[in-house]
């Protein structure tokens, strides 16, 4: 009974015990409430699974990657962080920017790597977005060639549209290893050409290759790649080759334009009939007329500037190649300078065209590999069966200067203030250095099916007639179209994700 009721005969005990129980309970409730509030604030600030240090590191890394991407240096090679390594330690570089220790640039940080426990490390949404952007915009033109045992996507027998001169296997070339080398950019992967993806991206659109015989070489490579998934319909004429893919309404076209600028043969000034005249400041009018029909244009030029021609600028004869009748008058422009001017002229004209809003890709100078002389003075690429090793690129002065003038002409055009946002639709596909290593990819003496053709040097050491300019098919030229597909993907998908599109 004493325990069942507070009203016990021992009132002293009642008075002493009851207040103690009330104060204890109140104290416990207050402490629990404080703990819950504190814990809630802590969890809100630092989610479960991350420490204060982790939170700081993720925040700083995200800010750092975003900042460095704006000054991305494409010439730097990545320094991958192995998944077995411990998390990077923050340090400072010379510019007082926070960088993970051991990384070459913040672009090199591999976000989202697995830790030693096999679980993905903490990556914020901003970091993932930044990572995707870095990979999407990585430099395609610095890297290395690697041997791919999978081989090419087509053979010389599975593509009916193949110029005999580039049909190296059909012409009896004994080795095939040159078909298996693929290009690997330093900072990302260049996917194998996906014909179905290309046709879907280009649905209802036209891609035109405009330029010289190397442009034809690239167009035929594109056609061979696409032919493996669909047989196109020939809708061409004498003015323009055109191939139509019914499933996607995609058109592939090719226009011949040796110099990309206006050319004529009629007499002009002291330049008589019989020699080609080039107006360096006037684009090829056939290109300008056809532009509204195109959505993507790939330009190729340069090698015809080694041929005889007269250069006209501001309606004045300023120079010539293999032509200058009056030696008492100095030439103002040589063929190298003329090439640079022609590039600037055509790029500006295309960008300013009122009815053309397409993507323009200028593929840079395609290097030749005539060793020991020029194409007509005993130069040769006979016996080259694999790429040059990394770092062993042989300097070719003419290739370097032509590439420099071409790039300069392109950048001058892009820098024109009158272009505005149109300059974003101009792309320089800089293949020159990478393809300088591919001396093995040319037809060489295997440019004809003639069984009696000479393929080896004679007793006097002279090489047989050969082609060290164009490219075997399949072969390195297919990589150009892998790059074209990647450039198109970036442009089209970039526009779809843009708020202003």
Question: What is the distance between the alpha carbons of residues 294 and 211, in angstroms, rounded to a whole number?
Answer: 15
Q: Any catalytic annotation for residue 309?
A: no
Q: Any residues with CB less than 8 A from the CB of 207 and at least 6 apart, and which? A: 222, 250, 251, 252, 253, 294, 295, 296, 297, 298, 484
Of 24, 21, 26, 25, nearest to 6 by C-alpha is 21
Q: What is the DSSP letter of 455?
A: -
**Domains with residue ranges and CATH for the chain:** 146-493 (3.40.50.1110)
β-pairing, 241-245 with 233-234? antiparallel
DSSP state string for 310-375: EEEETTEEEEEES--S-TTSPPS--HHHHHHHHHHHHHHHHHH-TT---EEEEE-------BTS-T
Question: What is the distance between the alpha carbons of residues 216 and 163, in angstroms, rounded to a whole number?
Answer: 9
Give, for 228, the enclosing helix (H) or strand (E).
Answer: none
Q: What 3-state class would DSSP assign to 231?
A: coil
Q: What 3-state class would DSSP assign to 316?
A: strand
- Within 70-156, residue ranges assigned H as helices are 125-136
Q: Any catalytic annotation for residue 221?
A: no
Set 79, 121, 213, 423: catalytic member: 213
What b/e sequence results for 155-170 when a residue is b if at least 16 CB atoms lie within 10 Å of its CB, and e otherwise? bbeebebbeebbbbbb
For the record, the structure tokens of 275 come out as: 């020699």
Q: Any catalytic annotation for residue 369?
A: no
Full-prediction pTM beyond 0.75?
Answer: no
For the record, the structure tokens of 124 come out as: 């914020």
For the record, the structure tokens of 228 come out as: 């493996």
Question: What is the distance between the alpha carbons of residues 181 and 147, in angstroms, rounded to a whole number?
Answer: 4
Set 108, 368, 467, 491: catalytic member: 467
Which pLDDT does position 117 carry in this prediction? 34
Question: What is the distance between the alpha carbons of residues 472 and 178, in angstroms, rounded to a whole number?
Answer: 9
Question: What is the distance between the alpha carbons of residues 232 and 230, in angstroms, rounded to a whole number?
Answer: 6
- Angle at which helix 125-136 crosses helix 52-69, to 10 degrees, equals 30
Set 301, 470, 478, 491: catalytic member: 470
Which pLDDT does position 35 carry in this prediction? 53
pLDDT digit of tens for each residue in the chain (501 aa)?
434 433 333 433 333 333 444 444 444 555 555 554 544 444 444 444 333 333 222 333 333 322 222 223 333 333 333 333 333 322 333 333 333 333 333 333 222 233 333 333 333 334 444 344 434 578 999 999 999 999 999 999 999 999 999 999 999 999 999 999 999 999 999 999 999 999 999 999 999 999 999 999 999 999 999 999 999 999 999 889 999 999 999 999 999 999 999 999 999 999 999 899 999 999 999 999 999 999 999 999 999 999 999 999 999 999 999 999 988 889 999 999 999 999 999 999 999 999 999 999 999 999 999 998 887 788 999 999 999 999 999 889 999 999 999 999 999 999 998 998 899 999 999 999 999 999 999 999 999 999 999 999 888 888 999 999 999 999 999 999 999 999 999 998 877 665 544
- Within 383-476, residue ranges assigned H as helices are 397-414, 432-436
Which pLDDT does position 29 carry in this prediction? 52
């Amino acid at each position: 009974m004493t325990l069942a009721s507070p009203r016990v005969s021992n009132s002293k005990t009642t008075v002493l015990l009851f207040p103690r129980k009330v104060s204890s309970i109140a104290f416990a409730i207050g402490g629990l409430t404080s703990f819950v509030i504190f814990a809630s604030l802590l969890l809100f600030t630092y989610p479960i699974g991350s420490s204060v240090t982790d939170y700081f590191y993720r925040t700083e890394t995200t800010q750092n990657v975003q900042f460095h991407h704006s000054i991305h240096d494409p010439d730097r090679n990545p320094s991958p962080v192995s998944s077995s390594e411990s998390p990077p330690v923050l340090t400072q570089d010379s510019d007082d920017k926070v960088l993970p220790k051991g990384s070459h640039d913040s672009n090199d940080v591999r976000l989202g790597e697995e830790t030693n426990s096999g679980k993905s490390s903490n990556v914020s949404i901003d970091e993932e977005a930044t990572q995707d952007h870095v990979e999407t915009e990585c430099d395609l033109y610095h890297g290395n060639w690697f041997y791919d045992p999978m081989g090419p996507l087509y053979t010389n027998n599975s593509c009916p549209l193949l110029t005999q001169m580039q049909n190296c296997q059909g012409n009896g070339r004994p080795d095939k290893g040159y078909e298996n080398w693929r290009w690997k950019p330093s900072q990302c992967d260049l996917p194998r050409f996906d014909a179905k993806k290309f046709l879907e991206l280009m649905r209802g659109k036209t891609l035109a290759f405009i330029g010289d015989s190397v442009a034809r070489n690239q167009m035929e490579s594109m056609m061979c790649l696409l032919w493996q998934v669909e047989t196109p319909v020939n809708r061409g004429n004498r003015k323009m080759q055109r191939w139509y893919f019914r499933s996607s309404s995609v058109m592939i076209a090719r226009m011949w334009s040796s110099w990309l600028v206006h050319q004529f043969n009629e007499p002009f000034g002291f330049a008589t009939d019989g020699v080609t005249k080039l107006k360096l400041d006037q684009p090829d009018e056939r290109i300008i007329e056809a532009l509204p029909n195109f959505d993507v244009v790939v330009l190729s030029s340069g090698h015809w500037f080694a041929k005889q021609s007269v250069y006209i600028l501001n309606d004045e004869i300023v120079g010539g190649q293999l032509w200058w009748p009056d030696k008492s008058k100095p030439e103002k422009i040589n063929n190298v300078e003329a090439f640079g001017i022609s590039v600037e002229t055509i790029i500006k004209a295309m960008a300013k065209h009122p009815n053309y809003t397409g993507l323009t890709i200028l593929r840079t100078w395609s290097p030749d590999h005539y060793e020991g002389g020029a194409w007509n003075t005993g130069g040769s690429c006979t016996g080259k069966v694999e790429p040059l090793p990394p770092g062993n690129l042989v300097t070719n002065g003419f290739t370097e200067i032509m590439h420099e003038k071409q790039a300069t002409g392109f950048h001058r055009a892009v820098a024109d203030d009158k272009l505005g946002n149109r300059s974003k639709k101009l792309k320089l596909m800089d293949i020159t250095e990478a393809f300088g290593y591919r001396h093995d990819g040319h037809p060489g003496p295997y440019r004809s099916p003639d069984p009696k053709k000479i393929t080896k040097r004679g007793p006097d050491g002279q090489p047989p007639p050969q082609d060290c300019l164009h490219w075997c098919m399949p072969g390195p030229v297919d990589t150009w179209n892998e790059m074209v597909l990647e450039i198109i993907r970036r442009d089209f998908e970039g526009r779809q994700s843009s708020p202003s599109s």
